[in-house]
Amino acid sequence: MAKEPDRPSEMAAIARYFRPLATAPGALGLFDDAAILRQLAGEDLVLSTDMLVEGIHFFANDPPDLVAAKALRVSLSDLAAKGAEPLHYLLSLALRSDWTESWLSGFSEGLRREQQQFRITLAGGDTVRASGGTTINVSVIGRQPSGSFVHRTGAKPGDFVAVTGTIGDAALGLLVRQGRITLPREEGEYLVNRYLLPQPRVALAPALRQHASAALDVSDGLVGDFAKLCAASGVSGEIARPAVPLSVPARRAVATYAPAFDTALTGGDDYEILVAVPENEADALAAAASEVGVALSFIGRIVSGEDEPKIFDEGGQVLSFDGTSYSHF
C-alpha cells in the first residue's frame, strides 16, 4: 500500500508502536523473522489463538486501547481457565484502509497497559492491510508446571460447580449499547464496560491447577458452555439459576426486561471461569479465590448420566432456552 503522507510506513509503525512492547530477549526486538523461546524442562506451554473482527467482536468507534485490551484478554481468559500463566503473545493486525496513527497509538498504549497488568510480552507479529474492517489475531503462550493443565474432561459426579465474577454483564451490555434495553446511565455504562473490557481471571490460575477437576472460560454463554464441559467429561449437571451471580445492573436489567435473564445465561462474552471442583476441595478453592480477590460463587453440582445438564429456577422447575450457545461463526 502506498504510504500516505500523514501515516508512518510499516517499518516506522512497528518501530514506534510495537518494538517497545517486545521486551523479551527472544523477541529479538521484532527485527528478525521469528522469535526464540528457550524451553524449560518441567514446564508445559499452553497455546491458544483468537481472532477479533470489527463489526462482530468490537466496533469501529470503540476506544482502540479497549479493543487491544479485549483482544489480549479473551486469550488470557483461556490460559487462566487451564491453570496457565501468561508468557508471550503473537499479534497479527489487519488494518482498515483508513486507519489513523491515533488509532494505532491508542491500540499500542492499550497493549502496553495490558502487558504490565498481566505480565505478558509481545514476541512477534504481522501487520497487513484489511479486506473490510480491522481484524486482530492474538496467539498466546502460557506456562504451567508439567501435567497441571486443567482439562474440560475431568468433571466427576458429586463435584461442585462454581463460576467466577458475575454472569451476563457483557451480553446485557451489548443490548444496552444497541439501545435494545434502557437502564439508568451508570448501570448501563457498567454493563457496556463489561462488554468492552473482560476481566480474565488470571490470578486464579494457580488455585485452579491445585483444586479444580475441570474448567473452561465462559465465552459462548453459561448454559451452552456448561453443556460443553459436561459433555466433554461424560457427565451431566445441575445449576440453580438463583445461585448464578448477577451484578446489580444485571439484576436491574432482568427486573425491567424479563427476557434479559435468558440473555444473561446464554449470551456469551462473559470470560468468567466455570469450574468443577471435588467437594473436599471446594473450601480450599473458595479460600484461594478470596485470597486473590476473585469472586467465586457455587451454582450447582455435577451428576452422573449423559442427559443435557439442567438449569432450575426458583421454584425447582427446569428451564429451557432457545439458543444455548452464541456462535461468532
Nearer CB in complex with a copy of itself: 41/258: 41
Distance of closest approach, residue 92 Cβ to a copy of itself, in angstroms: 4
Nearer CB in complex with a copy of itself: 73/152: 152
Nearer CB in complex with a copy of itself: 79/223: 79
Nearer CB in complex with a copy of itself: 28/243: 28
> Of 83, 65, 325, which Cα lies nearest the Cα of 201?
83
Rounded to whole angstroms, how far apart are CA atoms 51 and 303? Answer: 35
Distance of closest approach, residue 68 Cβ to a copy of itself, in angstroms: 16
To 5 degrees, how large is the angle CA 106–CA 111–CA 117? Answer: 130
Residue 7 backbone phi and psi in degrees, to 5: -130, 150
Distance of closest approach, residue 99 Cβ to a copy of itself, in angstroms: 10
Distance of closest approach, residue 307 Cβ to a copy of itself, in angstroms: 19
> Of 262, 235, 226, which Cα lies nearest the Cα of 246?
262
Helix (H) or strand (E) holding 146: none
Distance of closest approach, residue 157 Cβ to a copy of itself, in angstroms: 20
Task: Scan for cell 512497528, then name that residue.
Answer: 14
User: Beta partners for 49?
Assistant: 139
Rounded to whole angstroms, how far apart are CA atoms 188 and 173? Answer: 7
Distance of closest approach, residue 106 Cβ to a copy of itself, in angstroms: 18
Instruction: Say if residues 58 and 70 touch (Cβ distance below 8 Å).
Output: yes
Rounded to whole angstroms, how far apart are CA atoms 169 and 212? Answer: 25
Task: Scan for cell 488494518, then name that residue.
Answer: 95
Nearer CB in complex with a copy of itself: 1/287: 1
Nearer CB in complex with a copy of itself: 54/262: 54
Nearer CB in complex with a copy of itself: 79/196: 79
User: Beta partners for 52?
Assistant: 136
Nearer CB in complex with a copy of itself: 95/181: 95
User: Beta partners for 275?
Assistant: 162, 215
Instruction: Say if residues 294 and 200 touch (Cβ distance below 8 Å).
Output: no
Distance of closest approach, residue 151 Cβ to a copy of itself, in angstroms: 6
Distance of closest approach, residue 36 Cβ to a copy of itself, in angstroms: 5
How many CB atoms within 10 Å of residue 214?
Answer: 25
How many CB atoms within 10 Å of residue 245?
Answer: 18
User: Beta partners for 48?
Assistant: 140
